[in-house]
Copies of this chain bind each other. A is one copy, B any other.
Amino acid sequence: MIDYNNPAVRYYQQVSDECIHYLSIDGVIFGFHQNQLNVLLLRWKGTNEWSLPGGFIKKKESVDEAAQRVMQERTGLDKLYLQQFHVFGEATRYDQEETWRKTTIPLQHIKWSERTISLGYYALVEHSKVVPSPDFLTDECRWWPLNEIPSLLFDHNHIIDVAIQSLRKQLTDQPISHLLPETFTIPELQRLHETILGYPLDARNFYKKVMASGTLERLSERRAGTPHKAPYLYRFAGTGHDAVG
C-alpha cells in the first residue's frame, strides 16, 4: 500500500530506480558574508528541521558530476569549486528512526536502503551570486552563519565540522579565492582568512605574505565609500580553478 501521492515517496521511488543505493552526497556550501562564514541549509517540508543539501548519484554519472549537479540546483551557479573531503561510512551514523520521524517522511512507504554511506563535498561560492532554492523535500533554503547553526538532521553537524577542518587545512597551503568576488581588497581577504582560521592576523604581515605569494594582481581602482583611506582592489592572477567538476 504505497502512497504515491506523497512527494517524498515519489522522490525516493525515482531515486531508487535511477540512482545508486546505499550511497549519497552531502554538500557543505560555504559562503562569506559580513565577515562570517555561512553554510547553505534546507528546511524540510512542514517541519522546523534543517539539513545540508544532498542527493544521490545516478547510475551513469561520475560522483563529481553528481556533486556538481546537487550543489548547482541549490545555488543556481554552475562550475562550482568543489572539494571532496571525507567519506562518512560508519555502519550507524545517526538514529534513523528519530531522523525519519523528524522529517515526517513515511519511511514505511519507501523501499530504500537501511544505511547510507555519504561522500562529503564542500563548495566555495561567492555569497552574493547564490540564489538559494529548496528541493522538493524542503520548504526553504537559506544561509546560516556558522556559529548560529542549529541542531541538524542526520549527522550533518558533524559533517560541517569535518568540512571546516579540511577547509582550514587547505588554507594553509594556498590563499582561497573562491569565496570572494572577482575583485576585493587585501583587508577583505584578511577578514576571510581570519574567519576561516578563527583567530586574528597581523595586517602588516598578512600584506607581506599575500604579496610574496605572487598570486595577486593590483588594479588601478580603489574601493570607494569606505569611511577611511580607500584601499586598492586586487584580483587573483591565478587563472585556472583547480577543483573537480
Please give the residue numbers on chain A whose beta carbons come within 8 Å of chain B beta carbons, in ascending order. 20-23, 57, 59-65, 84, 87, 89-91, 113-115, 117, 119
Distance of A89 Cα from B57 Cα, bound (Å)? 10
Is the Cβ of B57 less than 8 Å from the Cβ of A117? yes
In the complex, how many angstroms separate the beta carbon of A87 from the nearest chain B beta carbon?
Answer: 6
List 11 contacting pairs A-B, 8 Å CB cutoff, sorted by A: A20-B21, A20-B23, A20-B117, A21-B22, A22-B22, A57-B117, A60-B115, A61-B91, A62-B90, A64-B89, A65-B91
Is the Cβ of B115 less than 8 Å from the Cβ of A87? no
In the complex, how many angstroms separate the beta carbon of A190 from the nearest chain B beta carbon?
Answer: 26
Is the Cβ of A89 less than 8 Å from the Cβ of B117? no
| A interface SS class | mixed
Which B residue's beta carbon lies closest to that of A86? B84
Q: How many copies does the complex hold?
A: 2
Known interface pairs A62-B90, A84-B87; 9 further A-B residue pairs with C-beta atoms within 8 A, sorted by A's residue number:
A20-B21, A20-B117, A21-B22, A57-B117, A59-B115, A62-B91, A63-B89, A65-B91, A87-B119
Which B residue's beta carbon lies closest to that of A88? B63
Contacts of A64 in B (CB 8 A): 89-90
Distance of A192 Cα from B88 Cα, bound (Å)? 32
**Which among B59, B89, B117 is the interface contact of A114 at CB below 8 angstroms?**
B59
Contacts of A87 in B (CB 8 A): 63, 84, 87, 119
Contacts of A91 in B (CB 8 A): 60-62, 65
In the complex, how many angstroms separate the beta carbon of A225 from the nearest chain B beta carbon?
Answer: 43
Contacts of A62 in B (CB 8 A): 89-91
In the complex, how many angstroms separate the beta carbon of A130 from the nearest chain B beta carbon?
Answer: 25
In the complex, how many angstroms separate the beta carbon of A54 from the nearest chain B beta carbon?
Answer: 16
In the complex, how many angstroms separate the beta carbon of A41 from the nearest chain B beta carbon?
Answer: 24
Distance of A61 Cα from B87 Cα, bound (Å)? 14
Distance of A59 Cα from B89 Cα, bound (Å)? 11
In the complex, how many angstroms separate the beta carbon of A18 from the nearest chain B beta carbon?
Answer: 13
Distance of A20 Cα from B57 Cα, bound (Å)? 14
Contacts of A63 in B (CB 8 A): 87, 89, 117
Contacts of A59 in B (CB 8 A): 22, 113-115
In the complex, how many angstroms separate the beta carbon of A28 from the nearest chain B beta carbon?
Answer: 16
